[in-house]
Structure 1
Amino acid sequence: MNAAVLEEYQEPLAIRDVPRPEPEPDGVVARVDACGVCRSDWHGWQGNWEWFDYKPPRGHILGHEPAGTVIAAGDEVESVSEGDRIAIPFNFACGRCLECRNGYENLCENHLGLGFQEGAPGAFAEEVPIPNADINAVPLPEGLDPVEVAGLGCRFMTAFRGMAHQAAVGRGQDVVVYGLGGIGLSAVHIADALGANVIGVDIMDEKLDLAEDLGAVETVDASEADPVKAVVDLTDGGADVSLDALGIEETCRNAINSLGTRGTHVQIGLTPREQEGYTSIPTDALVMGEIEIYGSSGLQPSRYHEIFDMVRTEKLEPGKVITERIGLEELNDELAAMTDFETVGIPVVTEFAD
């Protein structure tokens, strides 16, 4: 089958033929109908994230935001069968550890990072294997477009957990989102659907415009104005919730400083190589303002129904964040564009064969 293989970091992925996967007894193999291209893929391609064991090995297939159709199932699988359309999380859970048993499959102690870790070849390929399918292969309700669902397993689900669960956004709260890439734009759309007044911050006009289309009531061009002052002025003293979707020190610090007292900060953006997992934050402001900080990493597959229900009732339209449909041979161009933050919205691979 055709796949995009990491042969050398920061060099073009090799689009070549690889063996087709076989399902484990508790797993399935899915035909990949669509797979989002995420900045996390860029980090893997760059060779980042060895500091938390997410640096993909050479020879690995990248891609972690797929939707697909089951084409083969192991004998032990009960929840899905051949022909079922499924959403696929980026953190494969074991179903047995303490976190899984407590309903936090997204934090599984034995998780495998799809497209990043040994044992979990990614979905920039015609087919992808899924272990523990009764947990990790989530049936799609009728009427959901697999292309629009691509990306739910990472960006949209992580943004949803951050906004709906961790920060419990709603009730007309003021929310500011720093960094309007795929996660940031998803967060804008979700926070708007939850009833918040959303402000988007970025330096690209196209991203700011798209944020407004997705529900932002205000946007701030951080290249033209002090974003912290602008947000504090717009919210009459500071936002209730902030989200850093980028992960660099400047956006994290600015997001926290944009909060009012007793505000909540959600960190989703992961750090680049220069920071290696650490960021300086305004500690005294956290203390004096009694600021709360949360992380967000994916969404439990057992709670995907929350998003599916909001999509069914058209409160959420994940397809609005998709800006481009590409073939596998165009993937390298998208990754290269991410180096200079040139991509807008979510590009999705929809053609995999030669």
Structure 2
Amino acid sequence: MRAVQLVEWGEPPELRDVPVPEPGPGQVLVKVGGAGACHSDLHIMDAPGPPPAFTTPLPFTLGHENAGWVERAGPGVTGFAPGDAVIVYGPWGCGLCADCREGRENYCRTSGGQGGGLGGGYDGGMAEYLLVPSSRFLIPLGTLDPRQAAPLSDAGLTSYHAVRRSLHLLGPGSTAVVIGAGGLGQMAVQLLRALSSATTIVAVDTDAGKLDTARRMGADETLLSGDQAVTRIRDMTGQHGAELVLDMVGLDPTLRMAAQVARVLGHLTVVGLGGGALPVDFASPPHECAVAAPYWGSIPELMDVVTLAQQQKVRLLVEHFPLERAPEAYQLLRTGKIQGRAVITPHG
């Protein structure tokens, strides 16, 4: 089969021919319908060497945001049949530690929640087939198309987890600010609208087109990034700031903005992997504003996301690319020219 693999650190990935994996006991071979291209892939590709705790040897297949159809199941697998449409939960934990037992395999105490395409010794799904090490990582999609649903496993799940942990703050009169209106930000806006109808949602970005999309997806106000956006958010919140600020970018300028528009006792959640640093002193972020950097989400939370998608309460703008155009998709992603999510479709 063909697979998009990282062969050398700091070099672009290559399309290579590799053997089709054979599922062993408890494992499932998935025919990949869609594999999302994610910014975290760019960070891995650009790294001069293995990141900390990264144990996967080169070459390995990229792609940690996957959905498709069951091709073959190994001995002992029940509940799935060939042809079933499934989405793949991305962070593959040990299944035995306390966090894994509660479905939080993203915080596995053994593997650090790394899955295929991100480390942990597993190939990802940017290939014609993906070997999933356990059937517990598969969630039925029902009538959802795997080529459209693949980004739900990361863009959807990560955004859902980031929003859900702060819902108790988002009552009537509250404000939630989403900085960055790309694929992650668009999903966060929709989830805020679906889960907290009372809150005022503000989307901030440098791209007017993405802001137009955010407004169509439920944002009450859209602002071009900059000092005027900070002033507007402060004004509309009576100078108190927003109860929840989601930074879906994570660059130095966006983190500075996040600290400026958060409120006392609010939540400032850093989701983006831009590599910036949040300025912290006695007055910034505001007093007792909780700062968190969540990682992915739990298996039950992905089940929630799939249900919301089945109910048509969330959707992602998806641009499809065949496997041989994966490098082009990554380049468009790098230059900010993907409006939603780029999804590689190995089987058309």
Distance 1:51 1:230, change over 3 A: farther
Task: Work out whether residues 166 and 296 of structure 1, in 8 Å CA contact, stay in contact via their aligned partners in 2.
Answer: no
Tell me the distance in 1 between the aligned counterparts of 2:56 and 2:48: 9
SS of equivalent residue, structure 1 residue 40: helix
Name which of structure 1's ranges 51-60 and 1-10 shifts more when overlaid on structure 2.
51-60
Name which of structure 1's ranges 111-120 and 46-55 shifts more when overlaid on structure 2.
46-55
Tell me the distance in 1 between the aligned counterparts of 2:153 and 2:44: 17
Task: Work out whether residues 25 and 76 of structure 2, in 8 Å CA contact, stay in contact via their aligned partners in 1.
Answer: yes
Q: TM-score, normalised by structure 2?
A: 0.90
What pairs up with 1:112-131 in 2 under 5 angstroms?
Answer: 112-131=114-133
What pairs up with 1:146-295 in 2 under 5 angstroms?
Answer: 146-168=146-168, 170-172=170-172, 173-194=174-195, 195=197, 196-222=199-225, 225-237=227-239, 238-272=241-275, 279-285=277-283, 289-295=287-293
Tell me the distance in 2 between the aligned counterparts of 1:342 and 1:312: 28
Name which of structure 1's ranges 113-122 and 157-166 shifts more when overlaid on structure 2.
113-122
Which residue of structure 2 aligns with residue 297 of structure 1? 295
Tell me the distance in 2 between the aligned counterparts of 1:55 and 1:183: 27
SS of equivalent residue, structure 1 residue 351: coil
Once the two structures are TM-superposed, the CA of residue 9 in structure 1 deviates from its matched residue by 3.9
After superposition, the C-alpha distances for 1:256-289 in whole angstroms (9 at most, x for unaligned) are 22112221111211243xx6xxx24233235753
Once the two structures are TM-superposed, the CA of residue 76 in structure 1 deviates from its matched residue by 2.4
Distance 1:323 1:139, change over 3 A: closer
Distance 1:117 1:51, change over 3 A: closer
Tell me the distance in 1 between the aligned counterparts of 2:322 and 2:175: 39
Which residue of structure 2 aligns with residue 322 of structure 1? 317
After superposition, the C-alpha distances for 1:184-231 in whole angstroms (9 at most, x for unaligned) are 1211111122223211111111211111111111111115x4432222
1:309 to 294, 307, 313: 307
What pairs up with 1:44-59 in 2 under 5 angstroms?
Answer: 44-47=44-47, 50-54=50-54, 57-59=57-59
Identical-pair percentage? 29
Task: Work out whether residues 106 and 299 of structure 1, in 8 Å CA contact, stay in contact via their aligned partners in 2.
Answer: yes
SS of equivalent residue, structure 2 residue 106: helix
SS of equivalent residue, structure 1 residue 112: coil
What pairs up with 1:32-51 in 2 under 5 angstroms?
Answer: 32-47=32-47, 50-51=50-51
Task: Work out whether residues 55 and 116 of structure 1, in 8 Å CA contact, stay in contact via their aligned partners in 2.
Answer: no
Task: Specify the code of the residue in structure 1 equivalent to 2:268.
Answer: H
Once the two structures are TM-superposed, the CA of residue 42 in structure 1 deviates from its matched residue by 1.5
Task: Specify the code of the residue in structure 2 equivalent to 1:227.
Answer: A
Task: Work out whether residues 139 and 303 of structure 2, in 8 Å CA contact, stay in contact via their aligned partners in 1.
Answer: no
Structure 1 unaligned spans of 5+: none
After superposition, the C-alpha distances for 1:77-98 in whole angstroms (9 at most, x for unaligned) are 2342322221112211221112
Distance 1:49 1:105, change over 3 A: farther
Which residue of structure 2 aligns with residue 96 of structure 1? 96
Task: Work out whether residues 3 and 126 of structure 2, in 8 Å CA contact, stay in contact via their aligned partners in 1.
Answer: yes
Tell me the distance in 2 between the aligned counterparts of 1:327 and 1:219: 33
Distance 1:169 1:182, change over 3 A: farther
Tell me the distance in 2 between the aligned counterparts of 1:35 and 1:22: 20
Task: Specify the code of the residue in structure 1 equivalent to 2:232.
Answer: A
Task: Specify the code of the residue in structure 1 equivalent to 2:185.
Answer: G
Task: Specify the code of the residue in structure 1 equivalent to 2:119.
Answer: Q
Once the two structures are TM-superposed, the CA of residue 57 in structure 1 deviates from its matched residue by 4.6
Q: TM-score, normalised by structure 1?
A: 0.89
Which residue of structure 1 aligns with residue 334 of structure 2? 339
Tell me the distance in 1 between the aligned counterparts of 2:49 and 2:225: 27
Which residue of structure 2 aligns with residue 66 of structure 1? 66
